[in-house]
Amino acid sequence: MVTMARSRGYRVFQGINAVILTGVVIVTLYPFVNIIARSFSEERYIVTGQVNLLPRGFSLRTYEVVTADPMFWTNYRNTVVYTVVATAIAMVLTTCYAYVLSKKHLKGRTFLIWVAVFTMIFSGGLIPNYVLVNSLGMTNTIWAVVLPNAISVFNLLVMKTFFENLPQELEEAAAIDGLSTYGILWRVVLPLSKAVIATMLLFYAVSFWNSWFTAFLYLNEQELFPVTVYLRNIIAGATGAENAGAVIGEASQVASNIQSVTILLTVLPILAVYPFVQRYFVSGVMLGAVKG
């Protein structure tokens, strides 16, 4: 009887859980599906609020307008370059720092950990950061985008915990075989850390791809902007044109859905990459966040 009661209660729990999660999925997906529908719809249907989940008055005019702009592709290329370079630098620095902090016999280990954690609580502020970047001569260069946020302390702590859970005997055996510290890291530790590395790659890549404020702050030349700043400017321009009732070329004619088109074109690469690293995502976070 107890087993039947538990089984019945568990089925009720599963039903409620399924309903709640289905609602969460619907609420999460609706804005994205709506953006897709708006991007393929005609302006008059969007203005009158007739576009929900399906396009109305199917049109590719806005895609033609956006993709015909050479600056869009220049900024898109910049985003790819910034993301690749910044992610590579961040992964090297984070991995090396996390591996060092995972060694409990390291002198000054606690101090190094608190140096990192301190930056999560306190920061210099916007003006001191700008003065620092400007004084280092990085304004209007790629380094102003890729270096200031090179290490995420959250990612650092996750990787540190993951490295701490690796069997110490493997590293000791590799050291006896004559491998150096870097050899152990490259040939023993990293091959065993594919899950957490893939997870950190995703975290960093998404963060740098979506970042716009750093570039908006430190870059003054339009040819250096990432596509997110292009998106920000085109949305602001379209909104301004709508509010002022102005007619500014072809873009003003599609002001109601040009935001949707640029947003969709911006997120497509991340959506294309995510399925390939998704299988590592949960295991990487769990193994790195929970100490066994």
Would you say residue 238 has pLDDT above 70? no
What pLDDT was estimated at residue 83?
94
User: Are residues 235 and 118 part of one domain?
Assistant: yes
Token pair for 128: 């001191």
User: Are residues 283 and 237 part of one domain?
Assistant: yes
The residue-averaged pLDDT of 109-118 equals 90
| Single-letter amino acid code for the residue at 220 | N
User: Are residues 89 and 135 part of one domain?
Assistant: yes
How far apart, in whole angstroms, are the C-alpha atoms of residue 235 and residue 241? Answer: 10
The CATH code of the domain that includes 256 is 1.10.3720.10
Would you say residue 237 has pLDDT above 80? no
The residue-averaged pLDDT of 140-161 equals 91
More confident residue, 139 or 256: 139
**DSSP secondary structure, 127-186, as one string:** HHHHHHHHHTT-TTSTHHHHSTT---HHHHHHHHHHHHTS-HHHHHHHHHTT--HHHHII
Say if pTM beats, i.e. exceeds, 0.75. yes
The residue-averaged pLDDT of 79-89 equals 94
The residue-averaged pLDDT of 140-165 equals 90
Give the model's confidence band at 242: pLDDT under 50 very low, under 70 low, under 90 confident, else very high: very low
Domain boundary among 38, 59, 80: 59
Question: Taking each helix axis from N to C terminus, what angle separates 2-39 and 255-289, rounded to the nearest 10 degrees?
Answer: 140
Q: For the purposes of burial, counting CB atoms within 10 Å of the CB of 258, is it exposed (0-12), middle (13-18) or buried (19 or more)?
A: buried
More confident residue, 50 or 118: 118
- Average pLDDT in the chain: 82
User: Are residues 50 and 69 part of one domain?
Assistant: no
What pLDDT was estimated at residue 42?
81
Domain boundary among 35, 59, 83: 59
User: Are residues 245 and 108 part of one domain?
Assistant: yes
Token pair for 24: 């969460």
User: Are residues 70 and 46 part of one domain?
Assistant: no
What pLDDT was estimated at residue 245?
43
How far apart, in whole angstroms, are the C-alpha atoms of residue 292 and residue 279? Answer: 21
User: Are residues 123 and 75 part of one domain?
Assistant: yes
Would you say residue 43 has pLDDT above 50? yes
Phi (first) and psi of residue 281, to 5 degrees: -65, -60
What pLDDT was estimated at residue 204?
92
The count of domains in the chain is: 2
Would you say residue 253 has pLDDT above 80? no
User: Are residues 163 and 66 part of one domain?
Assistant: yes
Share of the chain above pLDDT 70, in %: 85
Least confident of 4-8, 42-46, 147-151, 225-229: 4-8
More confident residue, 97 or 43: 97
Domain boundary among 12, 39, 59: 59
User: Are residues 155 and 244 part of one domain?
Assistant: yes
Could you tell me the residue range of the domain that residue 47 belongs to? 1-59
